[in-house]
């Protein structure tokens, strides 16, 4: 059985670090704090990216998300998305001023609205630009820099070309999602590609992609045993207990887990409502969460349908009460082929 008081001991079963991936609109400080408080199992959290807009500003809401006072009890690594040195320096200086010692550069976002602007994975084919930015920026900042990247934009060839070019730079880590951007999330991640290219890098590497269950974690860990940091994304959002399942040498008390999930959910709802101050916007955000959460319940399609039909707080609370009363929390793997949301 697994009680809340055992949080301090959960790390003894696993030497590998587990982190939460940055997912726009999902893994904000409200989600991170609720997960850390009620469920746990995660070593460090990556905040969704900060980006400079056309007016050379970055959103106050994004700044608010990474303020230390809004992330008091967890290890947070802010992420940035840039394609030039000036924006990199501006964001790095802001993040450093908050007391952070590491930032992560997003070279992995796969969505066309981003990649078409030569941002995220859209910058991967432009090796010269990446190298110029690192050459210009790293001597001017004290904060450590890690990179999160896809294996390429339109195919997997960028990974093996770019990794050796990054070796001269003092990067703290490179997190590789072995799937190219044009695939979005439609194809499976390719851990064999990760393994085949890992010898090309002199840096500490981390793995990200399709870790949806303890079994899939063990499979990937067996394939790449030298890797001691795995980043969990959609699988952890769909099953917030995934990190604890991976760590635990014991089984779970489902009743206890269900109560912990409800406490996590209730805090997530209450603080989302406080932040957004709008019934409509709060419901939209909670429906996005339930596009993931519903995968963990015994009748996931019915669960999501109940949430999706909710057009008021009263209807929403009625829907969640029904789900918690009538359905079982299964702690089952996220099924990427049975998706309740649009990726």
pLDDT surpassing 90 at residue 15: no
Which pLDDT score is estimated for 331? 84
Instruction: Report d(CA 121, CA 194) in Å as an integer.
Output: 16
Which residues, other chains included, contact 48 with Cβ-Cβ below 8 Å and sequence gap of 6+? Answer: 22, 23, 24, 25, 26, 27, 28, 62, 65, 79
When pLDDT is cut at 50, 70 and 90, the band that residue 19 belongs to is very high
Q: Which range (50-59, 282-291, 320-329) has the least confidence?
A: 50-59
pLDDT surpassing 70 at residue 241: yes
Q: Which two tokens stand for residue 284?
A: 């939209």
The DSSP symbol for 98 reads T
Helix axes 127-137, 85-97, angle to 10 degrees: 40
Question: Average pLDDT, whole number, for the chain?
Answer: 93
Which pLDDT score is estimated for 333? 81
């Amino acid at each position: 059985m697994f009680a809340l008081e055992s949080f301090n001991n959960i790390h003894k079963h696993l030497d590998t670090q587990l982190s939460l991936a940055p997912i726009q609109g999902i893994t904000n400080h409200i989600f991170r704090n609720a997960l850390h408080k009620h469920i746990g199992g995660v070593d460090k959290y990556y905040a969704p990216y900060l980006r400079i807009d056309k007016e050379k500003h970055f959103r106050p809401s994004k700044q608010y998300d990474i303020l230390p006072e809004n992330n008091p009890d967890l290890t947070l690594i802010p992420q940035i998305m840039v394609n030039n040195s000036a924006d990199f320096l501006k964001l790095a200086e802001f993040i450093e001023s908050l007391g952070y010692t590491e930032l992560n550069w997003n070279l992995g976002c796969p969505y066309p609205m981003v990649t078409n602007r030569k941002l995220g994975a859209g910058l991967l084919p432009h090796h010269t630009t990446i190298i110029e930015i690192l050459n210009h920026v790293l001597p001017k900042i004290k904060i450590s820099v890690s990179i999160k990247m896809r294996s390429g934009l339109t195919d997997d060839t960028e990974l093996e070309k770019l990794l050796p070019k990054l070796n001269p730079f003092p990067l703290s880590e490179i997190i590789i999602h072995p799937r190219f951007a044009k695939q979005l999330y439609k194809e499976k991640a390719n851990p064999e590609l990760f393994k085949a290219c890992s010898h090309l890098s002199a840096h500490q590497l981390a793995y990200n992609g399709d870790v949806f269950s303890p079994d899939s974690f063990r499979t990937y860990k067996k394939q790449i045993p030298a890797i001691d940091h795995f980043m969990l994304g959609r699988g952890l959002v769909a099953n917030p207990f995934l990190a604890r399942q991976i760590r635990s040498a014991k089984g779970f008390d489902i009743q206890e887990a269900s109560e912990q999930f409800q406490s996590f959910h209730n805090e997530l709802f209450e603080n989302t409502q406080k932040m957004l101050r709008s019934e409509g916007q709060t419901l939209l955000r909670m429906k996005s969460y339930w596009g993931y959460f519903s995968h963990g319940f015994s009748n996931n399609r019915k669960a999501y349908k109940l949430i999706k039909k909710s057009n008021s707080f009263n209807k929403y609370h009625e829907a969640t009460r029904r789900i918690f009363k009538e359905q079982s929390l299964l702690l089952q793997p996220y099924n990427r082929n049975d998706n309740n949301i649009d990726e």
